[in-house]
Structure 1
Amino acid sequence: MKTSAPSSSIEDYVKVVYSYTEWQDTPITSSQLALRLGVANSSVSEMVRKLKDQGLVDHQPYSAITLTPQGTRLALSMVRRHRLIETYLVEELGYSWDEVHDEAELLEHAVSDTFIERMSAKLGHPSRDPHGDPIPGPDGSVELPSAMRMIELDHGHTGRITRISDENPDLLRYLAAEGITLDTRVEVVGRKPFGGAMVVRIGDGAQRAEFDLADEVTSALWVQSLEPHEGCVLPAR
């Protein structure tokens, strides 16, 4: 008997569970899942039971929710769709990076696997989306860059922005207006007194500028450390 395709709701749930733990190790709870999906806790409880019955998640009462191998495969397929569509909207249709999330949420359920793979080929098989999130391969493989959130970096740390959270469109618009984008060079200068903003230098050469960034901003930026030859000129021996 042919197995029916998962519903869009199931696809959304496993995608959110995966995305929550992609850049950190703490698994998602039912209340956090409800908040991210904008639904009632009772709706999440009912759906999680359904997901468990279908072998997509592991969950015990009052504990966190984790994906099974089967659930992870489905989630990665949906993440691939979502991020390729976002990339296509930006690179081919002229969308800005703060506009693409909701469009991709609608389109990812409507297109075929063939369409997705032709889109990937058209884009040159990109490895990341407009926000720096890795695009899983068609086989489910994922390569996460080695990066830390800017808020966790020490004074003097240098690197390049490798990922920017897309949760807040207003924040994305602010960053774009200030020229703070992927691959921008950053140096942590320090902090303002009494728990104030983080002071950072952003950019290269004549484009370099100093910013006071609030914790909400530095929590949304992931930085990959520079190799020695990228950050400075090594002294002669």
Structure 2
Amino acid sequence: MPSAAIDDYLKAIYHHTEWQDARITPSQLANVLGLAPSSVTEMVLKLAAQGLVTHRPYGPIALTDAGNERAATMVRRHRLIESWLVQEFGYGWDEVHEEAEELEHTISDRLLEGIDERLGRPRFDPHGDAIPDADGHVEREPFVLLALAAPGHSGRVLRVSDRDADILRVAEEAGLTVGAEVLVMDADTLVIDNTTIAMPAETIEAVWLSASA
């Protein structure tokens, strides 16, 4: 199996449980990767045979320690590259994902270490996702999905999902950037910098706030 294909599977499984607890199912994994369920089932069996995931028929998929270590290594590469492109080359946060997908498989460990040092060892990427350290460890604070935040909740924007560039642009236009202070009025109405903003439904499902102000 091509190494890049394995890495893409492991990253998708890793991403799924970063901001919620439920493990990913084969059908969800197929949807994320844009592949046929039969192809995903076949690959998952191969990953399990290599000791990278655990899986039972029709059940959820989990990374083993070895799988998590490999996934964290690739996630670290991807997010450091995204941070590098934004900080050093002026990319927008909605423009970096595809570039990082290409570069993460090609740059050397030496260059990656240089990027990390140059950027001051960042702990989060431009979207608020944690960058694993060289040992695969990450730090996160308690969080709540914006769609589930109770009226009256106030907190900082911790993360905006990078799955959809259009949502990133909408969020930025509304002031929902990482670090912004937000007051939740109701399911889709927020106050940011004393301005009341109505948020599209797809956006409130892609933003996470700190659990406390």
Shared fold (TM-score, shorter chain, > 0.5) = yes
Equivalent residue number for residue 77 of structure 1 = 73
> Within 5 A, what are the aligned runs for 1:98-177?
98-177=94-173
The answer to whether the aligner puts 1:201 opposite 2:187 as a matched pair is no
What is the SS of the residue equivalent to 1:92? helix
* 3-state DSSP of counterpart to 2:84: helix
Q: Distance in 2 between matches of 1:63 and 1:181?
A: 36
Please, which runs of 5 or more residues in structure 2 have no aligned partner?
A: none
- 1:55-99 CA-to-partner distances (Å, cap 9, x unmatched) read 000011111111000000000001100100000011101110011
1:1-23 Cα offsets, whole Å, 9 max, x none, are xxxx9711111111110001111
Q: Deviations over 1:91-135 (max 9, x none)?
A: 101110011111111111111222111110010000000000000
CA contact (8 A) 2:174 2:197 kept: no
Alpha carbons 2:130, 2:139 under 8 Å: kept: yes
2:83, 2:201 → 1: CA distance? 28
Q: Give 4+ residue runs of structure 1 displaced > 3 Å after superposition.
A: none
| Structure 1 residue 214 displacement after superposition | 2.9
- Per-residue CA shift, 1:136-179, capped at 9, x if unaligned? 00011111221101111111111111111111110111122232
Matched residue of 1:70: which SS?
helix
Please state if 1:87 is matched with 2:83.
Answer: yes
Q: Deviations over 1:5-45 (max 9, x none)?
A: 97111111111100011111111111111111111112111
Is 1:16 the counterpart of 2:2? The answer is: no
* TM-score of the pair, normalised by structure 1: 0.86
Partner of 1:235: none
Query: Equivalent pairs: percent with the same residue?
Result: 47
Paired residue for 2:198? 212
User: Aligned pair count?
Assistant: 213
Shift of 1:180: 2.0
Instruction: Report which of the two structures shows the higher radius of gyration computed on alpha carbons.
Output: 1
Amino acid in the other structure paired with 1:199: T
Secondary structure, in 3 states, of the residue corresponding to 1:96? coil
The letter of the residue matching 1:11 is D
Please state if 1:29 is matched with 2:15.
no
Q: Which moved more, 1:110-119 or 1:96-105?
A: 110-119
* Structure 1, unaligned runs of 5 or more: 192-197, 228-237
Cα distance in 1, alignment partners of residues 98 and 203 from structure 2: 21
Q: CA RMSD in A?
A: 1.5
> Residue 132 of structure 1 aligns to which amino acid in structure 2?
G
